[in-house]
Structure 1
């Protein structure tokens, strides 16, 4: 299912296919559905994968496959991929019929030409949509709108309407619920703003290091926006983030269709200077950047690696936290930018972690994804007439003033034999009534499916999921969250009557 057009809802597709089958005397014996999945890749499309597996294994109890139209078979960026999957079916003597197309898929030259053109158009649609979405996000950045992420210490997220009029401040974890609303950054409480200015002054004019600044903040009982103690790394992030000078910067990392996320060079960043009200003076911010850049630019690649090697000898191991807390060493982000990743830098100095730390980058991406998933759940509940209040401390959702809902994301891993596994830790201490467990698909870029777990039935704080689980657990599995939205929906009494 694609979500951009109502005609592509699974219900409407099923109706059209049913009418097509009835008109031709075809009996429908089995249905394969990929609800809400992207068609640009076969990964995450369990329905299509199951269909092809049944066909190749000889277990298929059908001799034709009915598809709504060519784009529902897939919007693959390589049209030959769609042809390959169709060829698998033909080899098994199973035909494919496209119900909403104006041609018969009979293998004739005309049908093949039209089908190839349709396949290319389907892939091109996704590319064009990606370009349009990127252009729209760029325009919003240039207008000073925030594209996700926490505000940070000394700043707050301000909700504005379509006319630019301020509404309310968003608390941590809250998301906008009206599509036309936008979010900008504004200075936070005067006390926090003063602390940010003091940090810059102590660094630039006082010549103090990040570690010294962090120590004084902690000694005075001043905590970060997350309620934690300051470290060299957290002070460093305040000093280098352009949002404190009022600049809106985006696209530092990106991923195109079917590509993995990667870091972009500064010339590809999208930025709008003076988009927000500045917390620190521009000259003071630029002076801080000059100090930081001079400190790192004077080191060559060999010198950076030599410093990292010395740190490894002194500490016996390496991590991003160890690097960020080391005095006189470039930050972990500097190593990531210079060498592509921390793991690559580790490799160059001969350090092999005790375990595969590639999961760290995945976890970071999932943390960035979490607010969007929560916002989607909130929007789905509200669209059904329910009400939602999010606790900024715990992220629990209170639905209809009666139901506590927790949302957790399960990272997909693989065993040595290649079997998929998901290990999830429930928010047992928060005692939610329901937990929505989101299992990520291969690559951990999009959700695979959802488990709606009642707290009363979850005795263990941790659950290990396999691809297919025993009936007691898979009874809570859903392809989408429609069941949750139906459960939490509210209907006026008059309508019920």
Structure 2
């Protein structure tokens, strides 16, 4: 029978150091005794001192994962020694499963090399998934309420023509001129292709510094933020930021967009706003 090679992982954060039983030495002694009792071989010891378990930016943790070919099972004293973030924990477990590695928590009798351990881990994964989905539902409910009544923006990156200051959209005049020029070109009868070509010929770029394409022009002309409105998940409401174009200008641009074939990559048809 092949001897199981074990990676012993111990961690202590600053807040744990004063707690009895959390010392690195105490963890190491108990884990080595656990290996001896199960006739396992200690392949390597990985120690993170003074590092939080809420993220994976830990030198010993990263080294352990990089050296996974040297061990068969990962052993910790408790699950919270390896992760205090459920999402990170589940991602680690998925990686270990993909790599054919086992996870063992000595004090919690969790061993994925056994049928019972895999059953318990499946339950833990389902609970974590349920928690994640419930959080997502609550966030969407809150965002929907904010979208309907405000105040403020909904956490998106500022669009061309604006920056975000203290939670409000504030115009950037140099970028705002580009937006106004796009609406002017649209109202003068230029196609999306012609507008994109003219902007590129004039050396004008997107918010990210890239060249213009017809779909990018469409999204600017279709975005009610430029007329002083905010849109989220089908909800459109009047906002408190300064518009870059009048509602009438925006609506006229929408009428012109309606008369043209909708781009296959566009997410929604043009909309009309009420002043």
TM-score, with length taken from structure 2: 0.54
CA RMSD of aligned residues (A): 5.2
Higher-Rg member (1/2): 2
Q: 1:17 to 1:279 in 2, by over 3 A?
A: same
- From 114, 120, 126, the equivalent of 1:120 is 126
Distance, in Å, in 2 between the alignment partners of 1:281 and 1:105 is 65
Q: In the aligned structure 1, how far is the partner of 2:235 from the partner of 2:255?
A: 19
| Structure 2 partner of 1:273 | 237
More contact order relative to length (CA 8 Å, sep ≥ 6): 2
Partner of 1:265: none
Q: Distance in 1 between matches of 2:115 and 2:200?
A: 75
2:46 counterpart residue number: 31
Tell me the secondary structure at the aligned position of residue 242 of structure 2.
coil
* C-alpha distance in 2 between matches for 1:202 and 1:278: 18
**Partners of 2:77 and 2:170 in 1: CA distance:** 50
TM-score by length of 1: 0.34
**Residue segments in structure 2 that go unaligned for 5+ positions in a row:** 1-9, 36-41, 268-275
1:11 has 2:12 as partner: yes
How far apart are 1:239 and its partner, in Å?
2.0
Q: Describe the SS at the equivalent of 1:30.
A: strand
What is the aligned length?
227
Report the secondary structure of 2:76's partner residue.
strand
Q: Give the alignment of 1:6-405 within 5 angstroms.
A: 11-12=12-13, 15=22, 18-23=25-30, 26=33, 29-31=44-46, 36-37=55-56, 47-48=64-65, 50-51=67-68, 53-55=69-71, 65-66=75-76, 68-69=78-79, 72=83, 74-75=89-90, 88-89=101-102, 96-99=104-107, 101=108, 103=109, 116-135=122-141, 142-152=150-160, 155-160=161-166, 182=167, 184-189=168-173, 193=176, 196-197=179-180, 199-204=182-187, 206-210=188-192, 223=204, 233=214, 235-250=217-232, 269=233, 271-275=235-239, 276-297=241-262, 334-337=263-266
Q: After the TM superposition, which residues 404-483 of structure 1 pair with which residues of structure 2 at under 5 Å, given as runs?
A: none
**Does the CA-based 8 Å contact 1:65-1:96 persist in structure 2?**
yes
User: 3-state SS of the aligned residue for 2:45?
Assistant: coil
Secondary structure at the counterpart of residue 335 of structure 1: coil
CA distance change for structure 1 residues 85 and 22 in 2, over 3 Å: closer, same or farther? Answer: farther
1:31 alignment partner, SS class: strand
Unaligned runs of 5+ in 1: 1-8, 39-44, 57-62, 90-94, 161-181, 251-268, 298-333, 339-497
Question: Residue 261 of structure 2: SS of its match in structure 1?
Answer: helix
